[in-house]
Structure 1
Amino acid sequence: MKNFPVVDLSKLNGEEREVTMEMIKDACENWGFFELMNHGISLEMLDTVERLTKGHYRRCMEQRFREMVEMKGLEALQSEVGDLDWESTFFLKHLPESNISEIPDLEEEYRKVMKEFAKELEKLAEQLLDLLCENLDLEKGYLKKVFQGSKGPTFGTKVSNYPPCPKPDLIKGLRAHTDAGGIILLFQDDTVSGLQLFKDGQWIDVPPMKHSIVINLGDQLEVITNGKYKSVEHRVIAQKDGNRMSIASFYNPGSDAVIYPAPALLEKEAEKNTQVYPKFVFEDYMKLYAGLKFQAKEPRFEAMKAMKESTVNLGPIATV
């Protein structure tokens, strides 16, 4: 845990910028995850989001979860469950259009705060994409432009609670997977742990730290960087005690965005004869991912490679 990469984003503005950028580079290349402190989102906002999220769960979702557990007989489990997750969730869409006003049971204060929180996370995601461009020696704005498609990026939030589980050895909070999209920003509980990533043949805890934002990379950034950065398998372990809050926001390419390895990176690697990742429309990848989320990512890439490239209209990407 002590070696898990923790980046102080405020140091980008001082003498430690070079060291901080190197930390981000190393985390992207060797971990696929890092934790951000001093990220620019106010601590008051984070505290409010946590308070309202936990209150909403107790008021509107806890009883429903208990009824689901009873209906499925999960408290009496005797053997491992491989097709179910011990989590209570709902989803918010922010871009290209918000659905927050349509979600039932949300108090007006909660709606307002989550809209504001999403705006802050969107700014942070775009800042991070530009930092990745800098580390990759890509033109500033390249990744944001790739994500645009015709309607701009897709951006949404999965709000999850992982209640106390009587049989955590038999059911996962969330089964192991890589994320399909672009860059993921997670505001997680700082008292109840459970998130783990797979590195060097073992599962490693992602430390819960107060007021931090955990960043991880999705499959699309692995493709765009031609494998220089990797999406990493991760999971949530159910716990016997405590209710773990998880607010994961996914800043993804637009549905019709064309995803393929950055030509500038391929030019650098031409002499190495490295494998080139496929090119595809993001929406096509998501359709495939929907049924294969909890399986290895490599066959998904192979399946996209096998699709007829004639379906992809590959135009030049302008940068800002």
Structure 2
Amino acid sequence: MATFPIVNMEKLNGEERSATMNLINDACENWGFFEIVHHGISTELLDTVEKMTKGHYKKCMEERFKEMVASKGLEAVQSEIEDLDWESTFYLRHLPESNISEIPDLEDEYRKVMKEFAKEIEKLAENILDILCENLGLEKGYLKKAFYGSKGPTFGTKVSNYPPCPKPDLIKGLRAHTDAGGVILLFQDDKVSGLQLLKDGEWIDVPPMHHSIVINLGDQLEVITNGRYKSVMHRVIAQTDGTRMSIASFYNPGSDAVIYPAPELVNKAEEKNNIYPKFVFEDYMKLYAQVKFQAKEPRFEAFKTAMEDTIRVDPIATV
């Protein structure tokens, strides 16, 4: 079995740059995921984020989760649950406007730490997008510009905890899906595993590693790259022991951004039969909300027929 791709970002600055860029390109083409180490975010900040996130769950969310489990009788289920995930979550929005001051129960120090974390993750996301541009032969800044819309990208973080589950064979931590957006940067627990991706018909574990960031590609990058890079199905398997922490930050297009395959990546002979549509990101998200846990291909097809004649596409100017 192929080894899950792990990228040392420091090697981009030395004589191993070419090999490292090739590793990233291969991961994007064949996995939809890769894991990065030495990415420039301080280990002290990551340790603080982890400590405070786990503390916040214990103090403010654990009891509520137990009450939900009891109210739904989940510990006694006998057949697979298909409309619920075994997770406790809250969402932070960073761009275009932050809602971090409005989230209840967060201590001031935790808010401050998560703001700092979001700034670092945003910088890393934009760095990753430029690395992808280079590998794709697109101008530097193309993907950021494609995501921009009129108010800049949409950027937010889903903070999740996956508590011990008595029936992990019947209740998924998070059901299988592809991510709707752009590039996803995940800071996950390094002691409790559970994240898996689907490759060549098999579920493969994404290895938990101390201080690493997992990168995965969303549907929008599949469309913009005209299918050269793919978003892939992934899921979280709940564990019987230990609570798994997951902090997933989504660097997505702005709500009014028009998404379509980069012209440089479209073969002229295939242009008329191209399977990837043009659409407004907000419209895609409305459809995705209804069919998140279903295959992505019908989503693309729905927009191909509905939107093709309604949007005039201008070339993206890059700086």
Name the amino acid aligned to 1:191. K
Partners in 1 of 2:252 and 2:31 — Cα distance?
A: 20
Residue identity in the other structure for 1:294: F
1:157-178 deviation digits (Å, cap 9, x = unpaired): 0000000001111100000000
What secondary structure sits across from 1:307 in the alignment? helix
Amino acid at match of 2:268: A
Residue matched to 1:300: 299
Residue 28 of structure 2 corresponds to 28
Q: Deviations over 1:47-74 (max 9, x none)?
A: 0000000000000000000000000000
What is residue 233 of structure 1 aligned with on the other side?
A: 233
Q: How much has 1:313 moved relative to structure 2? A: 4.0
Equivalent-residue separation in structure 1 for 2:190 and 2:22 (angstroms):
26
Per the TM alignment, residue 312 of structure 1 is displaced from its structure 2 partner at its CA by 2.3
Partner Cα separation in structure 1 for residue 242 and residue 2 of structure 2:
23
Deviation per CA, 1:9-33: give whole Å up to 9, x if none: 0111000000000000000000000
- 1:109-128 CA distances to partner (integer Å, 9 max, x unpaired)? 10000000000000000000
Number of equivalent positions: 318
What are the equivalent positions in structure 2 for 1:105-144 lying under 5 Å apart? Answer: 105-144=105-144
Deviation at 1:306, TM superposition (A): 1.5
Separation in structure 1 between the aligned mates of residue 183 and residue 307 of structure 2, nearest angstrom: 27
1:270 aligned partner: 268
Superposition deviation, residue 142 in structure 1:
0.4
1:26-65 alignment to 2 at 5 Å? 26-65=26-65
2:317 is aligned to 318
Q: Is the 8 A contact 1:261 1:276 kept in 2?
A: no
Which whole-Å CA distance do the structure 1 matches of 2:162 and 2:91 have between them?
15
Please, which runs of 5 or more residues in structure 2 have no aligned partner?
none
Q: Secondary structure at the match of 1:93?
A: strand
Shift of 1:271: 4.5
Please identify, of 23-32 and 276-285, the stretch whose mean Cα deviation from structure 2 is larger: 276-285
Q: Give the deviation of 1:310 after TM superposition.
A: 4.4
For 1:187, the equivalent position in structure 2 comes to 187
- Counterpart residue type for residue 315 of structure 2: P
Whole-angstrom CA distance in 2 between matches of 1:318 and 1:309: 22
For 1:117 and 1:290, locate their aligned partners in 2 and report how far apart those are by CA, in whole Å: 27
Q: Secondary structure at the match of 1:134?
A: helix
Match of 1:283 in 2: 282
TM-score normalised per structure 1 = 0.97
**Distance apart, 1:272 and its partner CA:** 6.0
Aligned CA RMSD, in angstroms, stands at: 1.2
* Residue 95 of structure 2 corresponds to residue 95 of structure 1: yes
Runs of at least 5 residues in structure 1 that lack an aligned partner in the other structure: none
Three-state SS of the structure 1 residue aligned to 2:158 is strand
Measure, in 2, the Cα distance between the counterparts of 1:161 and 1:265: 39
| TM-score, normalization by structure 2 | 0.98
Partner Cα distance (1:272, 1:104) in 2: 51
Q: Secondary structure at the match of 1:186?
A: strand
Distance 2:173 2:36 in 1: 24
Judge conservation of contact 2:277–2:308 (CA < 8 Å) in 1: no
User: Residues of 2 paired with 1:317 and 1:201: CA distance?
Assistant: 36
SS at match of 1:160: strand
Does structure 2 retain, via aligned residues, the 8 Å contact 1:182–1:221?
Answer: yes
Q: Deviations over 1:117-166 (max 9, x none)?
A: 00000000000000000000001110000000000000000000000001
> In percent, how many aligned pairs have the same letter?
79
**CA 1:291–1:272 in 2, change beyond 3 Å: closer, same or farther?**
closer
> How does 1:237-248 map onto structure 2 within 5 Å?
237-248=237-248
- 1:125 and 1:313 map into 2 onto residues whose CA distance is 28
| Distance of 1:74 and 1:288 partners within structure 2 | 29
Determine the structure 2 residue equivalent to 1:261.
Answer: 261
> How far apart are the structure 2 equivalents of 1:34 and 1:138?
21
